[in-house]
Chain A
């Protein structure tokens, strides 16, 4: 797999370099390239899957433990389909958690791991990988082909849905933007970029929620929903939301429900 990637990368750089003339052309070219490499043998996101698998089994922290006993909602160590059923309520933490929050919980409780370094590397950059992005790539990939079905039965899950919905429509900051400003209607675009309407259950929300985490071509990194929402708030001219904070999980609960039934394809590859 790594050998194939070595062949793919220069071609990739070439295509991006050649895509300068018009935005429409470059969009098409990236779209074509994305279709070409939406394949476990070529998607660089699968390097993160491989790293995540190793981190899952790595003994560390004051307890010299691995993450292998971490309960992601389907029982200790059960990975198959776990990501497709998150965010969810966890009785031990008495909290609704997304995958990254749950991993942080397990790192603390099972491994006795100091999260300072983990949080500092929450978003990978050239030459600096992110344990969280790698773990999410690995674990989400274990839900490949599963249908997204985040539970909405527990009162705290329902409360988080309601908070997420309110936050979606909440206008603030110097531009008065809400999530709904851009993602509130069908068929709108920013410049030439099509905007999915995320306000209610639909096929277009499924297409969004089934394809995170994703290898971002424009960033050369595998990104999670935590990063996507952080980047949305950046564009909304808000301050950076705290990593693993309640509001991001609330938005994820709202979006996961609107994308219910999505077939998970993760990590996917995106612009």
Chain B
């Protein structure tokens, strides 16, 4: 009798090592309920960060690999958000841009009120070749302006990519710095100058 019980119990025990490839599902509504429960204590002013816009929703669902039609719709929607500077030049002060690229502060619940956000570019990108502390989540930007022949239209395209990278690449991992008001127009111009000024350390050989 005991042997029989042990035999019967065996498949149940092995069931504990079932691969997650087996059906383990949660509906989008169930996931939303879990999210709501997890951030139930958040301040009202922070609640818009918990919900998703359509681009976030789609990129999450597709794990950043949308279909071509979805990608086109994202690029169209995000391009419509672009607010380009009125004047032709989008180059600010590269020295300020370097500080913004190095600054990872801002936007966190641990930040003091009124903290000015940085771009934290170095967290993900190589920029000036002399700076060894750079991340590799994004492509290298070393020599960026030089490699684009310092062309004004390339600088404007860079401004647009910092303002809203998904205006160029659907489901880009990069934050939409201008669209989500993380950086001001002047800060983005300063970063573009850091990329495009011929005397910027980014373009040092």
A41 on the B face (CB < 8 A):
no
A181 on the B face (CB < 8 A):
yes
Q: Judging by beta carbons under 8 Å apart, are B107 and A237 in contact?
A: yes
Q: Judging by beta carbons under 8 Å apart, are A246 and B38 in contact?
A: yes
B26 on the A face (CB < 8 A):
yes
| Given A172-B51, A235-B108, also A189-B31 (CB < 8 A) | no
| Given A175-B107, A238-B50, A240-B41, also A191-B34 (CB < 8 A) | no
Cα separation A167 to B35 with both chains bound (whole Å): 8
Q: Judging by beta carbons under 8 Å apart, are A174 and B135 in contact?
A: no
Q: Judging by beta carbons under 8 Å apart, are A234 and B30 in contact?
A: no
Cα separation A189 to B49 with both chains bound (whole Å): 25
Cα separation A264 to B157 with both chains bound (whole Å): 50
* Contact for B40 among A177, A235, A238, A245, CB less than 8 A: A245
B49-99 CB contacts (< 8 Å) to partner A:
49-52, 55-56, 59-60, 63-64
Q: Judging by beta carbons under 8 Å apart, are A240 and B12 in contact?
A: no
Nearest chain A CB to B90 CB, angstrom units = 22
Q: Which residues of B contact A149 (CB under 8 A)?
A: 16-17
Cβ-closest chain B residue relative to A231: B110
* Contact for B182 among A174, A190, A240, CB less than 8 A: A174
Nearest chain A CB to B175 CB, angstrom units = 4
| Given A176-B175, A189-B136, A242-B41, also A171-B122 (CB < 8 A) | no
Chain B interface SS verdict (over half): loop
A188 on the B face (CB < 8 A):
yes
* Contact for B52 among A163, A171, A177, CB less than 8 A: A171
Q: Which residues of A contact B1 (CB under 8 A)?
A: none
Q: Judging by beta carbons under 8 Å apart, are B63 and A180 in contact?
A: yes
| Given A152-B20, A235-B108, A238-B49, also A189-B35 (CB < 8 A) | no
Nearest chain B CB to A171 CB, angstrom units = 5
Cβ-closest chain B residue relative to A181: B173
Q: Which residues of B contact A237 (CB under 8 A)?
A: 49, 107-108
Q: Which residues of A contact B109 (CB under 8 A)?
A: 234, 238-240
Cβ-closest chain A residue relative to B25: A162
Number of residues from B at the complex interface, CB < 8 A: 54
Q: Which residues of A contact B124 (CB under 8 A)?
A: 190
Cα separation A67 to B181 with both chains bound (whole Å): 49
| Given A152-B16, A181-B173, A190-B137, also A173-B49 (CB < 8 A) | yes
* Contact for B137 among A174, A182, A234, A246, CB less than 8 A: A182
Q: Which residues of B contact A240 (CB under 8 A)?
A: 41-42, 109
Nearest chain A CB to B141 CB, angstrom units = 15
Q: Which residues of B contact A188 (CB under 8 A)?
A: 135-137
A159 on the B face (CB < 8 A):
yes
Q: Enumerate chain A interface residues (CB-CB to B < 8 A).
A: 22-24, 149, 151-153, 158-159, 161-163, 165-167, 169-178, 180-182, 187-193, 195, 234-235, 237-242, 245-248, 250, 257, 260
